[in-house]
């Protein structure tokens, strides 16, 4: 073997080996490509039956290892089919957007859609829907809209007032209304039970029951009050009529007696004048004596008769006066009784006469209820005792009525400075108490400081002098283990702290 042959052989062997490597590489590439195409075709499966069949043919051709020339027509048909499918996709996407838009708009029109849901829905329709770039992005969006539908359906399906729905604000309002009303003694037990029930159970069902009971009691009490007022007026009228009759009778009696007496007087006068005339005509003492004797007898008869008439008249008059007196006394008793009843009602009333704020009795009632609620719900309740500083000196310097006016102005300012849920009362003298349900002590400090400054800023003017009046406040929060008394004492001690540290201050005791 020549050197040339050896070289040729070596080159041939190298060429064969290179070709093998190339073929192997191509085989791997084709296999990878075919695998990729197969997987891709699988992921498109289920979109369209014709496309599915076409892709199945393509996969089988790849698996059989068909040559590219054989695959080409298959690929071309598949591409055409895919293009068609793409157009269908785009149309579907547009239709989906339109459907979601219109479903969302319908949902927006529904009543009872919760506010938060309405806001989120608007965001989905106005922003998120426009940002969609692939069909798959519709899925979370649709999930969201489905949730909105469910929330709306739930809100609609729930009865507006489920019997177990709770409404503590309404319970408190009913309690304070019940406190402000004045009820008769015989329903006090019933009212007590209603108040207890309002404190213990603030479900709508129980509130409705209690409201109906209160209205019933109130309607009954109004009817009774009206009946009693009517009865009083009828009996007043009757007594006045009887009085009038007695007076008319007495006047008539007096008139007729007067008439009789003046006729008698006339007769007496005539007799005296006749006697006078006859005495002048008499010629002898015996005749005169006889004449005077006779006339005097007649005269004394007339005088006795007049005396009798006058005595009788006096008796009748006295009787009549007694009758009138009795009637007037009766009238007086009736008016006094009625006045007493009105006064009792006023006394029982829970408003303080001077400041028109709830009084101490009203506070005690409310405080006990609030305490009970605190024990049941363990809610935050702040209790504040407020006292006007150096109030005695206002009385001393500017008079008691200036003091009264000051209390009225401060009471009005306090009332205006608190929340609707708060309860303020005049506890006595120059002392006020404030209950702040649902308010933790830590949050109460800022509004209480505001109240202090509001009172301080009131421009009082006495005897042409500007006077600044301040208040001291002691606050605490009801806590576990408290009794109404211990909590109140704590607030009172906080007030002493404020007084002892210079007044015009808010002090707290936890």
Ligand X SMILES: Nc1nc2c(ncn2[C@@H]2O[C@H](COP(=O)(O)OP(=O)(O)OP(=O)(O)O)[C@@H](O)[C@H]2O)c(=O)[nH]1
Binding region for ligand X (CB under 6 A): 354, 387-392, 395, 400, 403-404, 407, 429-430, 499, 503
Residue pair 80/56 in contact by the 8 Å Cβ criterion: no
CB 219 to ligand X: min, Å = 36
- Rounded distance between C-alpha atoms, residue 380 and residue 101, angstroms: 47
CB 366 to ligand X: min, Å = 21
CB 229 to ligand X: min, Å = 32
- Rounded distance between C-alpha atoms, residue 364 and residue 352, angstroms: 13
Beta carbon nearer to ligand X, 411 or 444: 411
Beta carbon nearer to ligand X, 380 or 430: 430
Beta carbon nearer to ligand X, 129 or 506: 506
- Rounded distance between C-alpha atoms, residue 390 and residue 470, angstroms: 8
Task: Please enumerate in sequence order all residues whose Cβ is within 8 A of that of 152, keeping only pairs 6 or more positions apart, or say none.
Answer: 107, 110, 112, 113, 114, 117
Beta carbon nearer to ligand X, 122 or 392: 392
CB 466 to ligand X: min, Å = 19
- Rounded distance between C-alpha atoms, residue 448 and residue 458, angstroms: 16
Which residue number is nearest to ligand X in terms of Cβ? 403
Helix (H, G, I), strand (E, B) or coil at 156: helix
Q: Could you give the angle at the alpha carbon of 30 between the alpha carbons of 25 and 32, nearest 5°?
A: 95
Structure-token match 């408190």, residue found? 172
CB 362 to ligand X: min, Å = 17
CB 410 to ligand X: min, Å = 11
User: Edge-to-edge strands of the sheet including 423-428?
Assistant: 423-428, 431-437, 381-388, 471-477, 506-508
DSSP state of 110: -
Beta carbon nearer to ligand X, 142 or 361: 361
CB 405 to ligand X: min, Å = 8
Extended beta strands in 418-504, E state: 423-428, 431-437, 460-462, 465-467, 471-477
Beta carbon nearer to ligand X, 207 or 471: 471
Beta carbon nearer to ligand X, 172 or 414: 414
């Amino acid at each position: 073997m020549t050197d040339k042959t050896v070289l040729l052989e070596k080159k041939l062997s190298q060429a064969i080996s290179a070709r093998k490597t190339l073929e192997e590489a191509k085989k791997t590439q084709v296999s990878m490509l075919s695998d990729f195409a197969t997987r891709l075709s699988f992921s498109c499966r289920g979109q369209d039956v014709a496309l599915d069949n076409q892709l199945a043919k393509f996969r089988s051709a790849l698996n059989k290892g068909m040559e590219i020339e054989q695959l080409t027509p298959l690929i071309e048909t598949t591409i055409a089919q895919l293009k068609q499918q793409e157009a269908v996709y785009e149309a579907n996407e547009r239709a989906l957007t339109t459907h979601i838009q219109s479903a969302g708009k319908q949902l927006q029109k529904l009543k009872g859609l919760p506010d938060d849901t309405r806001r989120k829905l608007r965001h989905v329709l106005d922003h998120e829907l426009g940002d969609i770039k692939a069909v798959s992005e519709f899925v979370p969006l649709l999930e969201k809209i489905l949730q909105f539908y469910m929330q709306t359906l739930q809100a609609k399906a729930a009865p507006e007032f489920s019997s177990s729905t709770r409404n503590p604000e309404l319970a408190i309002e009913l309690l304070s209304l019940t406190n402000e009303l004045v009820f008769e003694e015989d329903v006090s037990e019933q009212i007590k039970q209603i108040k207890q029930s309002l404190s213990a159970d603030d479900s709508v069902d129980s509130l409705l029951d209690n409201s109906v009971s209160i209205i019933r009691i109130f309607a009954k009490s109004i009817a009774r009050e009206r009946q009693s007022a009517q009865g009083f007026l009828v009996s007043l009228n009757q007594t006045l009529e009887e009085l009038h009759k007695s007076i008319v009778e007495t006047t008539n009696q007096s008139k007729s007696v007067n008439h009789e007496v003046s006729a008698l007087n006339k007769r007496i006068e005539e007799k005296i004048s006749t006697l006078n005339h006859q005495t002048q005509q008499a010629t002898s003492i015996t005749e005169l004596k006889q004449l005077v004797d006779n006339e005097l007898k007649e005269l004394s008869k007339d005088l006795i008769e007049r005396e009798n008439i006058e005595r009788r008249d006096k008796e009748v008059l006295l009787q009549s006066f007694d009758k009138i007196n009795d009637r007037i006394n009766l009238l007086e008793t009736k008016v006094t009784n009625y006045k007493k009843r009105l006064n009792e009602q006023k006394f029982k009333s829970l408003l303080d006469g001077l400041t028109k704020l709830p009084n101490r009795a009203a506070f005690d009632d409310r405080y006990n209820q609030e305490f009970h609620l605190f024990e049941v719900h363990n809610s935050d309740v702040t209790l504040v005792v407020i006292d006007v500083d150096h109030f005695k000196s206002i009385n001393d310097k500017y008079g008691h009525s200036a003091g009264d006016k000051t209390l009225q102005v401060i009471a009005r300012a306090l009332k205006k400075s608190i929340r609707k849920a708060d309860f303020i009362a005049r506890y006595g003298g120059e002392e006020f108490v404030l209950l702040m349900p649902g308010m933790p002590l830590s949050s109460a400090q800022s509004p209480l400081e505001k109240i202090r400054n509001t009172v301080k800023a009131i421009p009082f003017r006495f005897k042409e002098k500007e006077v600044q009046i301040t208040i001291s406040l002691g606050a605490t929060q009801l806590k576990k283990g408290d009794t109404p008394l211990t909590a109140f004492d704590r607030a009172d001690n906080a007030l002493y702290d404020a007084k002892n540290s210079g007044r015009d201050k808010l002090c707290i005791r936890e």
